[in-house]
Structure 1
Amino acid sequence: MDSQKGALLGFSALLLAACNTAAPANLDSAETQQPAPEAQAALEGEVELWPAVESNLIDPDIEARIDELMARMTIEQKVGQVIQADNGSVTPEEVKEYRLGSVLSGGNSGPNGKQYGTADEWVAAVDAYYMASVDPEGVEVAIPILWGIDAVHGHNNVIGGTLFPHNIGLGAMRDPELMGEIARVTAAELRVTGHDWTFAPTVAVPRDSRWGRSYEGFGEDPEIVSAYSPRIVEGLQGVFGSDDFLSDEHVISTAKHFLGDGGTDGGKDQGDAILPEADLVRLHAAGYPPAIEAGALSVMASFSSWNGSKIHGDHYLLTDVLKGRMGFNGFVVGDWNAHGQLEGCTTEDCPAALLAGLDMYMAPDSWKGLYKNTLAEVKSGEIPMARLDDAVRRILRAKFYYKVFDQARPSERPLSGRTEILGSPEHRAVARQAVRESLVLLKNEGSVLPIKPDAKILVAGNGADNISKQAGGWTLTWQGGGMSNDLFPNADSILDGLQGAAANVTYNADGSYTAKPDVAIIVFGEEPYAEFRGDVDHLAYDIDGTKERNLLQKLKADGIPVVTVFLSGRPMWVNPELNASDAFVAAWWPGSEGAGIADLLIADAEGQPRYDFTGKLSFSWPRAADQQPLNVGDAVYDPLFAYGYGLSYAAPGAVPSDLDETVSADLVSARANSVFFENGSFVSDWAAELTGDVTQSRVDHNAQEDALLFTFGGAGGSVAFKDGTARDFLRETNGDMELTLMLKSSTAGKVEIGMQCEADDCAGYDTLPAEVANANEWTEVRLSLSCLTAMDMKAVTSPFSLKVEGAGTVAVTDVHFSEDEDAQETCLSE
């Protein structure tokens, strides 16, 4: 199969070359030059593996309107239509000048330079860009923009929006009708802020839970995806062919990411799905035919590759399969600068993506250079006018269905600015139902659950009163997390829900108590993340036993029944936590309605369940920390909890309390790629190499001798953490990771922090501000890896290095890589 695909790709390139000189103006219906019979047979043999879908978007009246409009457009306008810029990198004036077809808001791109905004702020921003796009100055006809945004679990970029469980939890519901309601609510709330288009639904089928986007998938088996996909499209857009289709309460949807993003080798984001074509079809294409049949107007191409071929440049998949065999007549939009990853391309110059079948470049900050180069390539004939016209036609088709020429400005549309719709009681009720249906009961020994409402309940854990954490990634910011509950006015924390359902609730995050409780509910789990920052090497939640394990074991030893509510974006190895818990609930990331958890945990006045657990695992739960990939149907399938598992009050079951808690030494050593010194110890084989007039000892930070103290003589010196190997940290650098540590410095001389690489003259440093170097106080230091411009990040021999001029002391602890907290480059010398 692999060699056949390579031959097909080569043939597709030849076909494109032939189209350069004699391509028809409308590629939707026109015939193209036919290949040699042998090549045609191979092509048809491959394409026939894919499901055939009947197109339903071609409407003669709309096509006639497109013909009339395109006849009045300049080449410059057509090029503008195929380019989408991020609102953080383009002004309304530039939208008018370049006649761009679309604006998007990335995960950290809110109105007025903020990461998120209020409804009023959003409406004002959308209005300004829209009005610029329809300004008729200098053109025969002005074309309104479409504004796209990642509303992936509700309208998650506006303060006060309803936040639903992430898709992993929604998959556990097995409820397509409720999915349609969730999509309907999301569309209505998007209309409140003036948005036109959401980059949803994600119809990936994650096959390796180490992937940082696993929680964006509904399940590891395509059955759930194929059932949900059309209901979501209809909820967002309305039912195709009805009067409600793309009415004032609906928005344009996007099925994503085409194709195979959930099947990459090792679960690496933006990686390579290495598998035969038949498996690509069987496992990863299931969500697209029903979405197309439901009238989806856009499909987003994946960052990832299939057998080494980047999807953004794969003519066979984008054109022959998606637009040909699957009959998709909407438009294909790119992902964030993903076209720049194609061989021979940059983010500002990539004709190959358009030639392959991409219709709209997502060029958030590269749009201006891309516009100029694409325009030049169209004028030179490198990009045939027929291909440009086809892309523009597809975009205009969506715009006509959305009635962009018939709608008022965003601020004057029926739902615009109606803030009472955001987080309304009706919408929150839908979300709360989704929470109830998404929870999966993994363990309930001794019928600890449900808890009587008059019981003395201790609530603990850092997830109990933390709406930002329970909502997960893609919540107000791209990565989510770290935000005050005040930013979620239409939400309940899990603690709020428990306090509302039970009369005697005591909350102490650390689990301390004075009067012994009848039961303890501990809420903890993964910190929020998005995309590649969520990629992990293994599924152990707490590989070192330094998190909640001791608290669970202490409470259990005190004779207190323990209920664990586990927050996560994937199934994880939590055997120690399961052993120490009497009941264990997989709550995923439930969103804004924390009270939905109390609905199942707390009994009614008679001690009976108010609701029963109905959620069933849509991902297999691992028996070991390194048991990946793990999927139902595998030849060897031995999970701890199988796909479809889920206990209930009506159907209880027993779980052993002596699950294996050992972790392989290989997994422990793997942490050395991101954690170097923690809790008073070097991780793996890291050690401090001292050069010059410097000695090493220990000092206290949070515990006895848990920090390293370096004492420098008058000649100064340097320290470098090394383990004898060189590592490639380019991906961490591109992912905006930061070198983070706690530091206490007392020196009058210059202090530099940085890294070293394999070559003798290769190192990168930044200078610690003098006020920190002289403070003699513990301070968190964060240094973006991107600040170290002199480094060869592909051959790093020391991920942490310290240089001091003159005498003084510097103490350090908790040295590791961490995610960027503020989406801004953090350099020390600024």
Structure 2
Amino acid sequence: MTQIEVGQLIDCNGELNRTAVEYWIDKWKVGSFLETPANHNGKYNWYSPRRFGAFTDAVQKIALERGSKIPVIWGLDSVRGANYVKGGTIFPAGIATAATFNPRFAYDAGRIAAKDTRAAGVHWAFAPVLDLAVNKLWSRTYENFGEDPHLSSQMGAASVNGYQGDYKRDRSRVAACMKHFIGYGYPFDGSDRANRHIAAHELLEYYVPPFKAAIDAGVASAMESYGVVNGEAVTISSYYLQKLLRKQLNFRGMLVTDWGEINSQATMYFTAKDLTQATQLAMDRTSIDMSMVADDESFGNITVGLVNQGIVSESRLDKSVARILQLKKDLGLFKSPYTDKELAKTVGSAQDISSARDAVRESVTLLKNSNGALPLKRSDRVLFVGPTLNSTRYMGGGWNVHWQGPTDAEGDAVYQGFGDTILQGVQRVTGVAPHYMPGVDIDGKALIDIDAVVSAAKHADKIVVGLGEHTYAENVGNIDSLALPWQQLNLVYTLANAAKKPVVVVLVQGRPRGLAEVPSVADAIINAFLPGAYGGLPIAEILYGVTNPSGRLPYTYPRSDSQASTTIWQSSYVAYNPQWAFGYGLGYSNVTYSNVTLTSESLRPGAPVTVSVDLVNHGPYAQKEAVMLFTHQLYRVGYAPDLFRLRAFKKASLAVGETKQVTLELKAEDMAFWDAELKKRIEPSPVKLAINPFTVADIFATVQLRAD
């Protein structure tokens, strides 16, 4: 074993000066760098693709001339566009992309993120995020594709294809990295990196499928999860990272740890007595290929010592080095290690921005609409109130510009020229500057006398209130309760009670925050999720009826904190009474469902059943309709059946007056489940088929499931 090989296992922080980079290259012949060279504490230091590319090229030159003569691979959290590259088109967060129920947008976001990331000289994207958002308190809820295994699988596979495409030939693509394997999305108390307690058969049933879909799509790399699942640390687990990932799921790509996770075994989780034992366990028990050690030398030093003592074999390292070198070869780094400067010309193109705005148009979810509150008319006198209506920063959220989003010093100014607020969108739609009074800031601090706001509201025809969250990422976003600041909620109560005018609430949030009495007080509610900096215009178009909303909830929206971990796939005997159900969403048109037909009333392995349903759009708007097929097994001997499981979905476009038949396929194999002995089986019984059971559709049929 040589130091070159150990160096190929080190991933060090790209936020280093040239002298530090030279140190790492010279001493350790480092094989990978990650993240942005920008200093997070500065102001307006977002790197353009040319500036970023010049930095990565300089590092590459050092590696090729002074180090191992092997090109480095650069990794970046380009999770929703090239969010660390100035001018890169920022897409809606993963949770919003899932709300489109249209995998095209997961593909487009990945494709454009890859192009803009590669323009900066970065070859490897730490995406997609395939954790299930089970506990909605979790600060990373917005990064993934929701709570449902099937929706996450479809979106995840499309995302992998978007990032990678034909990445072994196409140098505008990057290597994708599915993360975080496995079980990360169900921290027991909702705090980031808390222990997860997930039954082994449930882990296979619900949490594994999105990763399997990504592997089937050819994902090039994977990142293991932070923390501990069922008492076992993932980073040093032979079961999770050898038996399950490599053998059962047949993953052949490169595997990287998350940030400092080998060291954390000794310093945070206490699953190893010291760093030496932590490193030995990671090397002996698992198939980890690269340690994301940031700026710490311990992994390299300890690994060299373990190999010299014969504790870790050179053959173990050879396997990892081979996978890393193969990835570099697949990305063309040996032939073309430097940045293609022509790609920078395409970053932030009008076509890319249009694609991001289209994703917002199909993600925004209308949760309530009564008393003719929406759509607004251009002739309406509308008062706009609240902290999120005049901010691109809050629409972007975390993992934008910097890890925690723009700094307080940067604020919204950093997005000037790279986005539009909701108020700016309203002005573009109406041609008139909107009447805006902030009311309170994002933390609930009063910015203007509430009596002045009430007085203005009394002279308005309608009131739009923007509520939401500050920017955050990972443990910085930990909360004890889903409730929004009461001062934000009080804006709605005060204006509704005093002004007696229709109140529309726009939610800009990364997770479903608690709304207390707002759902009963407000006349209309829109969930905009985290639409990204280009979300202002599409949201304004939806408010004014230029676009008909078609988003559907990719998670169960809790009524209270006690429902934070309630899911659509929970056991059927458990009460399901959330604020809004998974898959719920309204539009401005009346779409009816009828004439459900099945190609067979018997469902058996190898003989799929096609389910057809007729949709009619009675107007008055064109409508994009997410058609979802759920199953509910009436009984399952010995094992409680799921309440509902999403099995298939399609997004249909209907003109006013149009009738369209939508077909969806159901396989008996989809009904197989993992039992407590970790065996997959089909339990015969009648199965109720439900199409959009929690919307106005609410249409059912029945098939007989057979195992033979």
TM (norm. structure 1) is: 0.65
Aligned partner of 2:533: which letter? Answer: S
Q: Any idea what the Cα deviations from partners look like across 1:707-750, whole Å, max 9, x if unmatched?
A: xxxxxxxxxxxxxxxxxxxxxxxxxxxxxxxxxxxxxxxxxxxx
How far is the alpha carbon of 1:107 from its aligned partner?
Answer: 10
Is 1:520 matched with 2:459? no
**What residue is the counterpart of 1:534 in the other structure?**
477
Asked if 2 retains the 8 angstrom alpha-carbon contact of 1:553 and 1:580, the reply is no
How far is the alpha carbon of 1:553 from its aligned partner?
Answer: 2.4
In the alignment, the residues of structure 2 paired with residue 396 and residue 519 of structure 1 have an alpha-carbon distance, to the nearest angstrom, of 61
Is 1:597 matched with 2:597? no
Asked if 2 retains the 8 angstrom alpha-carbon contact of 1:445 and 1:583, the reply is yes
Aligned partner of 1:252: which letter? Answer: A
State which of 123, 133, 145 in structure 2 corresponds to 1:206. Answer: 133
State which of 84, 103, 124 in structure 1 corresponds to 2:54. Answer: 124
Aligned partner of 1:592: which letter? Answer: A
**What residue is the counterpart of 1:11 in the other structure?**
none
Residues 288-327 of structure 1 mapped to structure 2, 5 A cutoff: 288-327=211-250
Q: Any idea what the Cα deviations from partners look like across 1:182-232, whole Å, max 9, x if unmatched?
A: 111111111221111110000001211011111112111111111111111
Is 1:99 matched with 2:26? no
Asked if 2 retains the 8 angstrom alpha-carbon contact of 1:88 and 1:113, the reply is no
Aligned partner of 2:588: which letter? Answer: Y
How far is the alpha carbon of 1:110 from its aligned partner?
Answer: 6.4
Asked if 1 retains the 8 angstrom alpha-carbon contact of 2:49 and 2:119, the reply is yes
Residues 225-304 of structure 1 mapped to structure 2, 5 A cutoff: 225-239=152-166, 245=168, 247-304=170-227
Asked if 2 retains the 8 angstrom alpha-carbon contact of 1:110 and 1:157, the reply is no
**What residue is the counterpart of 2:387 in the other structure?**
462
Cα pair distance change 1:551/1:138, threshold 3 Å:
closer
In the alignment, the residues of structure 2 paired with residue 433 and residue 491 of structure 1 have an alpha-carbon distance, to the nearest angstrom, of 14
In the alignment, the residues of structure 2 paired with residue 540 and residue 598 of structure 1 have an alpha-carbon distance, to the nearest angstrom, of 26
**What residue is the counterpart of 1:405 in the other structure?**
334
Asked if 2 retains the 8 angstrom alpha-carbon contact of 1:337 and 1:347, the reply is no
Asked if 2 retains the 8 angstrom alpha-carbon contact of 1:207 and 1:267, the reply is no
Q: Any idea what the Cα deviations from partners look like across 1:576-619, whole Å, max 9, x if unmatched?
A: 2223321110111110111110121113xxxxxx2211111111
Aligned partner of 1:539: which letter? Answer: L
Q: Any idea what the Cα deviations from partners look like across 1:397-439, whole Å, max 9, x if unmatched?
A: 11111111111422x4541x33xx2322111111111111111
Aligned partner of 2:500: which letter? Answer: G
**What residue is the counterpart of 1:428 in the other structure?**
353
In the alignment, the residues of structure 2 paired with residue 369 and residue 557 of structure 1 have an alpha-carbon distance, to the nearest angstrom, of 63
Asked if 1 retains the 8 angstrom alpha-carbon contact of 2:387 and 2:438, the reply is yes
How far is the alpha carbon of 1:525 from its aligned partner?
Answer: 0.7
State which of 396, 404, 416 in structure 2 corresponds to 1:479. Answer: 404
Aligned partner of 1:438: which letter? Answer: S
In the alignment, the residues of structure 2 paired with residue 530 and residue 108 of structure 1 have an alpha-carbon distance, to the nearest angstrom, of 18
How far is the alpha carbon of 1:377 from its aligned partner?
Answer: 1.3
Is 1:498 matched with 2:426? yes
How far is the alpha carbon of 1:108 from its aligned partner?
Answer: 7.3
Query: Which range is displaced more, 193-202 or 374-383?
Result: 374-383
Cα pair distance change 1:187/1:513, threshold 3 Å:
farther
Question: 3-state SS of the aligned residue for 1:261?
Answer: coil
In the alignment, the residues of structure 2 paired with residue 524 and residue 208 of structure 1 have an alpha-carbon distance, to the nearest angstrom, of 22
Q: Any idea what the Cα deviations from partners look like across 1:471-524, whole Å, max 9, x if unmatched?
A: 111111211253333311221111111111114421221246658122221112
Asked if 2 retains the 8 angstrom alpha-carbon contact of 1:110 and 1:122, the reply is no
Cα pair distance change 1:513/1:102, threshold 3 Å:
farther
Cα pair distance change 1:298/1:112, threshold 3 Å:
farther
In the alignment, the residues of structure 2 paired with residue 115 and residue 539 of structure 1 have an alpha-carbon distance, to the nearest angstrom, of 33
Asked if 2 retains the 8 angstrom alpha-carbon contact of 1:87 and 1:109, the reply is no
Is 1:624 matched with 2:554? no
Number of matched pairs? 560
Asked if 2 retains the 8 angstrom alpha-carbon contact of 1:520 and 1:560, the reply is yes
Asked if 1 retains the 8 angstrom alpha-carbon contact of 2:60 and 2:337, the reply is no
In the alignment, the residues of structure 2 paired with residue 491 and residue 396 of structure 1 have an alpha-carbon distance, to the nearest angstrom, of 39
**What residue is the counterpart of 1:561 in the other structure?**
502
Cα pair distance change 1:138/1:218, threshold 3 Å:
closer
Aligned partner of 1:332: which letter? Answer: L
How far is the alpha carbon of 1:354 from its aligned partner?
Answer: 2.3
How far is the alpha carbon of 1:129 from its aligned partner?
Answer: 0.9
In the alignment, the residues of structure 2 paired with residue 109 and residue 277 of structure 1 have an alpha-carbon distance, to the nearest angstrom, of 42
How far is the alpha carbon of 1:554 from its aligned partner?
Answer: 2.4
Asked if 2 retains the 8 angstrom alpha-carbon contact of 1:206 and 1:214, the reply is yes
**What residue is the counterpart of 1:448 in the other structure?**
373
Question: 3-state SS of the aligned residue for 1:225?
Answer: helix
In the alignment, the residues of structure 2 paired with residue 518 and residue 246 of structure 1 have an alpha-carbon distance, to the nearest angstrom, of 58
TM (norm. structure 2) is: 0.75
In the alignment, the residues of structure 2 paired with residue 633 and residue 291 of structure 1 have an alpha-carbon distance, to the nearest angstrom, of 21
How far is the alpha carbon of 1:361 from its aligned partner?
Answer: 0.1
Query: Which range is displaced more, 264-273 or 463-472?
Result: 264-273
In the alignment, the residues of structure 2 paired with residue 546 and residue 392 of structure 1 have an alpha-carbon distance, to the nearest angstrom, of 55
**What residue is the counterpart of 1:329 in the other structure?**
252
**What residue is the counterpart of 2:615 in the other structure?**
none
**What residue is the counterpart of 1:722 in the other structure?**
none
Residues 52-91 of structure 1 mapped to structure 2, 5 A cutoff: 75-89=2-16, 91=20
**What residue is the counterpart of 1:178 in the other structure?**
105
- Structure number with the bigger relative contact order (C-alpha 8 A, sep ≥ 6) is 2
Cα pair distance change 1:80/1:109, threshold 3 Å:
farther
Is 1:646 matched with 2:585? yes
State which of 292, 295, 298 in structure 2 corresponds to 1:362. Answer: 292
Is 1:344 matched with 2:272? yes
In the alignment, the residues of structure 1 paired with residue 506 and residue 44 of structure 2 have an alpha-carbon distance, to the nearest angstrom, of 33
In the alignment, the residues of structure 2 paired with residue 287 and residue 346 of structure 1 have an alpha-carbon distance, to the nearest angstrom, of 34
Aligned partner of 1:122: which letter? Answer: F
Bigger-Rg structure (1/2): 1
**What residue is the counterpart of 1:580 in the other structure?**
521
Question: 3-state SS of the aligned residue for 1:443?
Answer: strand
Residues 658-697 of structure 1 mapped to structure 2, 5 A cutoff: none
Cα pair distance change 1:114/1:459, threshold 3 Å:
closer
Question: 3-state SS of the aligned residue for 1:266?
Answer: coil
Aligned partner of 1:598: which letter? Answer: A
Q: Any idea what the Cα deviations from partners look like across 1:800-821, whole Å, max 9, x if unmatched?
A: xxxxxxxxxxxxxxxxxxxxxx
Question: 3-state SS of the aligned residue for 1:597?
Answer: helix
Aligned partner of 1:585: which letter? Answer: I
Query: Which range is displaced more, 427-436 or 549-558?
Result: 549-558
Question: 3-state SS of the aligned residue for 2:209?
Answer: coil
Is 1:133 matched with 2:66? no
Structure 1 stretches of 5 or more lacking a match?
A: 1-73, 604-609, 654-830
In the alignment, the residues of structure 2 paired with residue 347 and residue 460 of structure 1 have an alpha-carbon distance, to the nearest angstrom, of 53
Cα pair distance change 1:508/1:132, threshold 3 Å:
same
Question: 3-state SS of the aligned residue for 2:300?
Answer: helix
In the alignment, the residues of structure 1 paired with residue 513 and residue 246 of structure 2 have an alpha-carbon distance, to the nearest angstrom, of 38
Question: 3-state SS of the aligned residue for 1:643?
Answer: coil
In the alignment, the residues of structure 1 paired with residue 466 and residue 43 of structure 2 have an alpha-carbon distance, to the nearest angstrom, of 34
Residues 656-735 of structure 1 mapped to structure 2, 5 A cutoff: none
Asked if 1 retains the 8 angstrom alpha-carbon contact of 2:106 and 2:156, the reply is no
**What residue is the counterpart of 2:302 in the other structure?**
373
Asked if 2 retains the 8 angstrom alpha-carbon contact of 1:158 and 1:476, the reply is yes
Residues 3-14 of structure 1 mapped to structure 2, 5 A cutoff: none
How far is the alpha carbon of 1:321 from its aligned partner?
Answer: 1.6
In the alignment, the residues of structure 2 paired with residue 320 and residue 115 of structure 1 have an alpha-carbon distance, to the nearest angstrom, of 44
Cα pair distance change 1:138/1:638, threshold 3 Å:
closer
In the alignment, the residues of structure 2 paired with residue 303 and residue 557 of structure 1 have an alpha-carbon distance, to the nearest angstrom, of 49
Asked if 1 retains the 8 angstrom alpha-carbon contact of 2:371 and 2:502, the reply is no
Asked if 1 retains the 8 angstrom alpha-carbon contact of 2:29 and 2:67, the reply is no
